[in-house]
Each structure stands twice: as structure tokens, then as C-alpha cells.
């Protein structure tokens, strides 16, 4: 293990010059690269021996000058919780933890309270940019004490896109505000993606439009819907016209759900975001129980044909329902 005394000390409010980074996956690994290219010293830790700079979390802490700053970039939930708890045991008063994963904002308050018992500072930071952040920069939304934000500005400036700071970085408020802002950002992202997806399906299905990919590409400049998400959709269509190699199964990582819940808690209607979230739920069903119930009900009250799971039996089911409805004097019209 490294000797902590071999490193020069920093004063508590000095800007960070050497960062510890826990988690070197697709996002964390790219962030390490961008930080180093900006001239910051980074010591990274991950269980994968092919990517880590040190063997243990203890080694990471020992490699950093006091007061230490450690950025946590691991999956939300238990992995983040366990990492923060372990850092609470290893770090000292005046050290700072920045949590940059997709944690729920309420978790941040728990993390901050836990670390405060040992005098360790805490900042939460929502990070947007995905795999492109290493070259394009990351959109950052931070929550925490102004002094802690000021201390970490060299890190934020290295990660954010080039240009005015306020266009790629925001200090959203106290602890929890960063992840709250990122949660709402992702809820909006869900809705925008769903709108593009529905437009794509309609254009693809009609025989009026010959080249859907060209239409989307033509929207990239001069239109009110131009955006990076549109650019990425055009790229996807260029790589795979018709999206024939992609399954229609779409996961959600939690932020959309939390946004809808927050809307309910605050009596704010979020119908577009909610609909986009529900569309993802539907995408995971090979057979929808809800739609089966609707088909059965239409058959019962209107005698409408049902596509039975038994081959060749659909018309028999429909005819039986019609006879029953006629005998009871029920309407058999469309619905």
C-alpha cells in the first residue's frame, strides 16, 4: 500500500489537483481519460485488474493527497451505498466524496448524513453524455455546499463541454439537487425519444414517404426539432436502415419512474413523460395481459373476432359470442 506521507498536502479549500475515481466502466473509464487529457492526476479503482490503477480501495485512498477527493461512479443502489459506506470508514475529516452515478436524490441525503458523522464532505452530481462524453464533454448537474463545489471546479471544468461553464455545468442547489435535476432531465429525455420513435414508425409505415432516413437527416438543421438525439437517430438509421438488427425491447434505468412519482407527489401533471415510460413497459411484453382482456371484452359485448391462441378457432369464438349476445338482446355493433 502507498505511503500517504509521500504526497504533498492540500489545504481544505484548494482546488482539486489529484482525484480518486471509483468505477471504471464505460462512463468512469472515459471520464478518467478526459480528466487526464485535461491535465489532472487521476487514480482509478475497479475490481477489473485490466483497468484499475490500484489493487484495493484502501490503496486508492492512500494514493491521494489530503484532503482527498474521491468521485464514485458505480451502479446506483446497493453498489453505490456500499462504496460510500466503505469510503466513510477510510476517509478523514475534510475529505470529499462526489457521487456521480444515477442515484435517487433521496439517497444523497442519506449518504451525506452518514459521511458527515466522520466529518467527510459530500457532493452529488448528475452526469449526462453517455459514451460520447469522452470527446464531447459531459453535462453536469451538481448539488452540495458552495465551498465544496468551488473546490471541485477543476474536475467539473475538465469534464464539461468546451465553452461557457453555465452551458455545460450547473450548481443546482444543496445535496440532492444535482441528482434531482438529472432525474427530471432523463424524464424529458424519455419523452423526446418517444416522440421521435412514434414519428419514425408513422413515416416508416406510410407509402407516402420513400426515404425515412433522408427525412430525419433533413431535420438536423433549420428545424425546431434539431437536437443531439435527432443526430443519434440519424446515425442509427445510417448504420442499420430499417433498424432490422435491433429488438423493440426497451429498458428503463429508474429516472423516468422517479420523475413521474415526483410529479404525483408535487401535483404536477407529467402525462408525456408517464406515457413514454409506460411505452417501455409495453415493449417488454410478448403478449399483453391487458390487451387480452380488452380483446375478450370486445368479443363478449360485441361479438368481435378474437385472434385465438388456438389455430383456426377465432371465427368459432366470435360466432359463439354473437349467438349469445343476440339471444340476450345485447348490441353487437362495433366498439
Residues 218-247: pLDDT tens digits?
Answer: 999 999 999 999 999 999 999 999 899 988
Pick the residue with more confidence: 333 or 85? 85
* Range in 36-40, 72-76, 304-308 the model is least confident about: 304-308
Residue 67: cis peptide before it, omega within 30 degrees of 0: yes
User: Which residue(s) pair with 97 in the sheet?
Assistant: 70, 122
pLDDT band at 294 (very low <50, low <70, confident <90, very high): confident
| pLDDT score for 302 | 79
pLDDT band at 325 (very low <50, low <70, confident <90, very high): very low
| pLDDT score for 1 | 33
Q: Is the pLDDT of residue 332 over 70?
A: no
Q: Is the pLDDT of residue 24 over 50?
A: yes
**Averaged pLDDT for residues 101-117:** 95
Q: Which helix (H) or strand (E) holds 18?
A: strand 18-22
| pLDDT score for 307 | 80
pLDDT band at 192 (very low <50, low <70, confident <90, very high): very high
Summary mean pLDDT of the chain = 89
Q: What residue has cell string 349476445? A: 325
Q: Is the pLDDT of residue 131 over 80?
A: yes
Pick the residue with more confidence: 51 or 303? 51
| pLDDT score for 9 | 58
Q: How many CA atoms lie within 13 A of 133 on its CB side?
A: 24
pLDDT band at 295 (very low <50, low <70, confident <90, very high): confident
State percent of the chain over pLDDT 70: 89
- Nearest residue to 10 (alpha-carbon basis) of 68, 60, 58, 63: 68
Q: How many residues does the chain have?
A: 335
Interatomic CA distance for residues 272 and 83, integer angstroms: 35
Annotated catalytic residues are: 182, 189
Strands 139-143 and 121-128: antiparallel
| pLDDT score for 96 | 98
Q: Is the pLDDT of residue 328 over 50?
A: no
Q: Is the pLDDT of residue 331 over 80?
A: no
CA distances from 116 to 89, 129, 148 (A): 12, 30, 13
Q: How many CA atoms lie within 13 A of 240 on its CB side?
A: 8
Interatomic CA distance for residues 176 and 59, integer angstroms: 29
| Model confidence pLDDT, tens digit, residues 152-176 | 999 999 999 999 999 999 999 999 9
| pLDDT score for 2 | 35
| pLDDT score for 305 | 81
- Nearest residue to 51 (alpha-carbon basis) of 17, 28, 20, 76: 28
In the chain, CATH 1.10.1040.10 sits at: 183-283
Q: Does domain 183-283 sit in CATH 1.10.1040.10?
A: yes
**Averaged pLDDT for residues 262-288:** 93
| pLDDT score for 10 | 56
Q: What's the topology of domain 4-175?
A: Rossmann fold (3.40.50)
Q: Is the pLDDT of residue 12 over 80?
A: no
pLDDT band at 311 (very low <50, low <70, confident <90, very high): low
8 A C-beta contact, residue 263 and residue 270: yes
pLDDT band at 5 (very low <50, low <70, confident <90, very high): very low
User: Around Cβ 250, how many Cβ atoms within 10 Å?
Assistant: 17
Interatomic CA distance for residues 323 and 319, integer angstroms: 6
State percent of the chain over pLDDT 90: 75
Amino acid at each position: 500500500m502507498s505511503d500517504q506521507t509521500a504526497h504533498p498536502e492540500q489545504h481544505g479549500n484548494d482546488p482539486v489537483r489529484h482525484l480518486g475515481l471509483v468505477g471504471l466502466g464505460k462512463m468512469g473509464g472515459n471520464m478518467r481519460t478526459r480528466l487526464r487529457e485535461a491535465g489532472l492526476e487521476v487514480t482509478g479503482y475497479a475490481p477489473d485488474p485490466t483497468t484499475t490503477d490500484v489493487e484495493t480501495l484502501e490503496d486508492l485512498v492512500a494514493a491521494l493527497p489530503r484532503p482527498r477527493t474521491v468521485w464514485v461512479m458505480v451502479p446506483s443502489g446497493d453498489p453505490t451505498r456500499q462504496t460510500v459506506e466503505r469510503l466513510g470508514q477510510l476517509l478523514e475529516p475534510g475529505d470529499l466524496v462526489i457521487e456521480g452515478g444515477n442515484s435517487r436524490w433521496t439517497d444523497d441525503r442519506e449518504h451525506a448524513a452518514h459521511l458527515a458523522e466522520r466529518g467527510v464532505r459530500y457532493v452529488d452530481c448528475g452526469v449526462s453524455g453517455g459514451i460520447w462524453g469522452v470527446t464531447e464533454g459531459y453535462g453536469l448537474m451538481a448539488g452540495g455546499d458552495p465551498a465544496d463545489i468551488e473546490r471541485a471546479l477543476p474536475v467539473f471544468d475538465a469534464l464539461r463541454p468546451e465553452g461557457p461553464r453555465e452551458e455545460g455545468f450547473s450548481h443546482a442547489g444543496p445535496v440532492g439537487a444535482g441528482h434531482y435535476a438529472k432525474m427530471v432531465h432523463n424524464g424529458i429525455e424519455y419523452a423526446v425519444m418517444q416522440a421521435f420513435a412514434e414519428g419514425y414508425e408513422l413515416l416508416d409505415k406510410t407509402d407516402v414517404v420513400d426515404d425515412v432516413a433522408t427525412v430525419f437527416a433533413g431535420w438536423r438543421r433549420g428545424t425546431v426539432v434539431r437536437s443531439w438525439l435527432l443526430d443519434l437517430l440519424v446515425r442509427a438509421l445510417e448504420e442499420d436502415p430499417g433498424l432490422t438488427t435491433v429488438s423493440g425491447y426497451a429498458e428503463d434505468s429508474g429516472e423516468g419512474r422517479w420523475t413521474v412519482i415526483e410529479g404525483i407527489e408535487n401535483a404536477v401533471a407529467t402525462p408525456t413523460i408517464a406515457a413514454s415510460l409506460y411505452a417501455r413497459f409495453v415493449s417488454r411484453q410478448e403478449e399483453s395481459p391487458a390487451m387480452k382482456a380488452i380483446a375478450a371484452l370486445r368479443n363478449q359485448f360485441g361479438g368481435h373476432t378474437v385472434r385465438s391462441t388456438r389455430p383456426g378457432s377465432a371465427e368459432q369464438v366470435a360466432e359463439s359470442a354473437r349467438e349469445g349476445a343476440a339471444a340476450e338482446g345485447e348490441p353487437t355493433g362495433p366498439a
